[in-house]
A and B are shown apart, each in its own frame.
Chain A
Amino acid sequence: MGSAQRLKGHLDPLVLAILEDGPTHGYGIIEELRRRSRGEFDLPEGTVYPALHRLERAALVTSTHEMVGGRDRRVYRLTRGGRAALAERRTDWDRFASTVSLILGVKPA
Chain B
Amino acid sequence: MIDRYLNELGSHLRVGGRRRARILEEVRDHLHDAVADRESRGIDRERALQDAVSAFGPADRLAVQFNAQVATVSMRRIPFIAVTAGVTVVGGFLLAVTTPSRRAFPASARVGVQASFLVAVLGLQVAFVAGARAASLVASHWRSPAAPTQDRDLVHRAGAICASGLGVAAVGWTSAVLLTLHRLAHPHALGVAGTVVMIASAATAAVLIARQPVNPDDEGDASPERAGVLEVGEHLIGAAKRRPAPSCAAVATLGAPAAMPHAETSVIAAVPWGLGQAAAVVTGVVSAGALLGSRTGCVGSGPRSRSPEGNSHGWSFGSSRIDGGSRDRVPRVRFVRRSRVGVGPAVVDEGGNAAPVRSDRLLSRDARRVPVVVGHARRPALLLEGCESCVR
Question: Contact residues of A with B, CB < 8 Å?
Answer: 9, 25-27, 44-47, 49-50, 53-54, 57-58, 71, 73-74, 96
User: CB < 8 Å: which of B22, B55, B62, B145 contacts A54?
Assistant: B145
User: CB < 8 Å: which of A27, A50, A57, A74 contacts B62?
Assistant: A50
**What separation, in Å, do the CA atoms of A49 and B61 have in the docked complex?**
12
User: CB < 8 Å: which of A46, A54, A96 contacts B69?
Assistant: A54
Q: How many B residues, CB 8 Å from partner?
A: 26
Of listed A25, A46, A58, residue having the most chain B CB within 10 A: A46
Contact A27 B56 (CB under 8 A): no
Contacts of B325 in A (CB 8 A): 9
**What separation, in Å, do the CA atoms of A96 and B327 have in the docked complex?**
11
Contact A25 B29 (CB under 8 A): yes
**What separation, in Å, do the CA atoms of A47 and B66 have in the docked complex?**
10
Contact B65 A45 (CB under 8 A): no
Contact B65 A9 (CB under 8 A): no
Query: What does the 1/0 interface line of B59-94 toward A look like (CB < 8 Å)?
Result: 001100110010001000000000000000000000
Contact A74 B25 (CB under 8 A): yes
**What separation, in Å, do the CA atoms of A49 and B59 have in the docked complex?**
12
Contacts of B22 in A (CB 8 A): 74
**What separation, in Å, do the CA atoms of A19 and B247 have in the docked complex?**
50
User: Is B17 positioned at the interface, with any CB of A under 8 Å from its CB?
Assistant: no
Q: Which residue of A lies closest to B59 (CB)?
A: A46
Query: In the complex, how many angstroms separate the beta carbon of A76 from the nearest chain B beta carbon?
Result: 10
In the complex, given contacts A44-B58, A49-B30, A50-B62, what are 18 additional A-B residue pairs having Cβ atoms less than 8 angstroms apart?
A25-B33, A27-B29, A44-B57, A44-B61, A45-B34, A45-B55, A46-B30, A46-B56, A49-B23, A49-B27, A50-B69, A53-B23, A54-B69, A57-B69, A57-B73, A57-B145, A71-B29, A74-B25
**What separation, in Å, do the CA atoms of A28 and B208 have in the docked complex?**
40
Q: Which residue of A lies closest to B225 (CB)?
A: A58
Contacts of A47 in B (CB 8 A): 57, 62, 65
User: CB < 8 Å: which of A45, A58, A71 contacts B56?
Assistant: A45
Query: In the complex, how many angstroms separate the beta carbon of B218 from the nearest chain A beta carbon?
Result: 11
Query: In the complex, how many angstroms separate the beta carbon of A33 from the nearest chain B beta carbon?
Result: 13
Contacts A25-B29, A74-B26, A74-B29 hold; do A50 and B66 have CB atoms under 8 A apart? yes
Contact A49 B145 (CB under 8 A): no
